Amino acid sequence: MSEAPSDPAAAIRGLLHRADDAAKAAPNQRVPEGARERITRLLDAARSQLPALADDELRLDLAAQVARRFAALDRDGLEAVLGPSPDVRRAPTGADVDPARVPPGQHLTAGWPVLHVGGAPADVDPATWRVVVTGRVRTRTVLTVAELRDRLPVVTTRSDLHCVTGWSRLDNDWEGVRLVDLIGLAGPRPEATHLLASGHPAYSANLALEAAGAADVVVAWSHDGVLLDRAHGGPIRLVVPARYGWKSVKWLTELRLLDREVRGYWEERGYHDVADPWTEQRFRG
């Protein structure tokens, strides 16, 4: 007699329950780091089973539950990233900062933490790097970094950066070109409503074209007067100040205009499609 097929949703919920139990027990453990590693393994196992779920809404709901627990681990280690970073201008964090500038649940960092999915690409030569604007456009457009400078107005903007893990860095100075100018060069078709921004390696984030048109949304090659290094997304990255930082795609390679919303890397893993920090749109539901 064959075994009944396993229920991936039940398996995921079981892993989440075990992760919650481990988190509750962690304060009483002699080696808290061991508890963190155990929780991480359980959550990784839960996330690995999400693709087996055929029900899209159920999958996204459970993905958001996994993401919330990972976020709790991030908050536990938040203090370690709030200090200054080597060779980076110290960002304002003092008592003179207007509290209204800081979204709910965020903490100011003087430095510039490095967070991304996977490793940074090995080859980030600005001379050969290209970004393509494609999809619902009149002219598929491919530009090097030098051509971005030559063909579009270069702008300098100052904006705040808010990471979904709970830190915010104020007064970032970016040099680059406005996203709306780059998209305009390709000529968006009338039916285009969204874009999917992709970066190396295999990372993407979605954005409504209305949000993409804001004046402070830029494709940047410089931060605080210094060319972007590889760890922070150089040679070019997207900067979307009105959204959590996962929308500001590093190592930008493609902007694909679409006639509908298509979820990106983290959106497929339970993160909110809009990601407005001021309403704490971190995760679905």
Last residue of a domain, one of 41, 76, 111: 76
Q: Are residues 231 and 262 in the same domain?
A: yes
Provide the domain limits for residue 155. Answer: 99-279
Q: Are residues 33 and 166 in the same domain?
A: no
Q: Are residues 58 and 108 in the same domain?
A: no
Which tokens in the block code for residue 281? 């749109």
Q: What's the pLDDT score for residue 29?
A: 63
Which tokens in the block code for residue 158? 């100052």
CATH number for 222: 3.90.420.10
Q: Are residues 152 and 249 in the same domain?
A: yes
The pTM (predicted TM-score) of the whole model is 0.92
Q: Are residues 194 and 265 in the same domain?
A: yes
Q: Tell me, yes or no, whether 85 lies in a domain.
A: no
Q: Are residues 115 and 253 in the same domain?
A: yes
* Tens of pLDDT, residue by residue, the chain (285 residues): 444 457 999 999 999 999 999 999 877 766 566 888 999 999 999 999 999 999 999 999 999 999 999 999 988 888 888 999 998 999 999 999 999 999 999 999 999 999 888 888 888 899 999 999 999 999 999 999 999 999 999 999 999 999 999 999 999 999 999 999 999 999 999 999 999 999 988 999 999 999 999 999 999 999 999 999 999 999 999 999 999 999 999 999 999 999 999 999 999 999 999 999 999 999 997
Q: What's the pLDDT score for residue 27?
A: 76
Q: CA-to-CA distance for 266 and 115, rounded, in angstroms?
A: 13
- Give the chain as a 3 state SS string: CCCCCCCHHHHHHHHHHHHHHHHHHHHHCCCHHHHHHHHHHHHHHHHHHHHHCCCHHHHHHHHHHHHHHHHHHHHHCHHHHCCCCCCCCCCCCCCCCCHHHCCCCCEECCCCCCCCCCCCCCCCCCCCCEEEEEECECCCEEEEHHHHHHHCCEEEEEEEEECCCCEEEEEEEEEEEEHHHHHHHHCECCCCCEEEEEECCCEEEEEEHHHHCCCCCEEEEEECCEECCHHHCCCCEEECCCCCHHHCCCCEEEEEEECCCCCCCCHHHCECCCCCHHHCCCECC
Q: Are residues 41 and 127 in the same domain?
A: no
Last residue of a domain, one of 24, 43, 76: 76
Axis-axis angle for helices 8-25, 56-76 (nearest 10)? 20
Q: Are residues 116 and 250 in the same domain?
A: yes
Q: CA-to-CA distance for 110 and 98, rounded, in angstroms?
A: 15
Q: Are residues 249 and 109 in the same domain?
A: yes
Q: Are residues 167 and 275 in the same domain?
A: yes
Q: Are residues 228 and 155 in the same domain?
A: yes
Q: Tell me, yes or no, whether 87 lies in a domain.
A: no
- Give 143-162 as a 3 state SS string: EEHHHHHHHCCEEEEEEEEE
Split into its structural domains, the chain has a count of 2
Q: Are residues 19 and 148 in the same domain?
A: no
Last residue of a domain, one of 23, 43, 76: 76
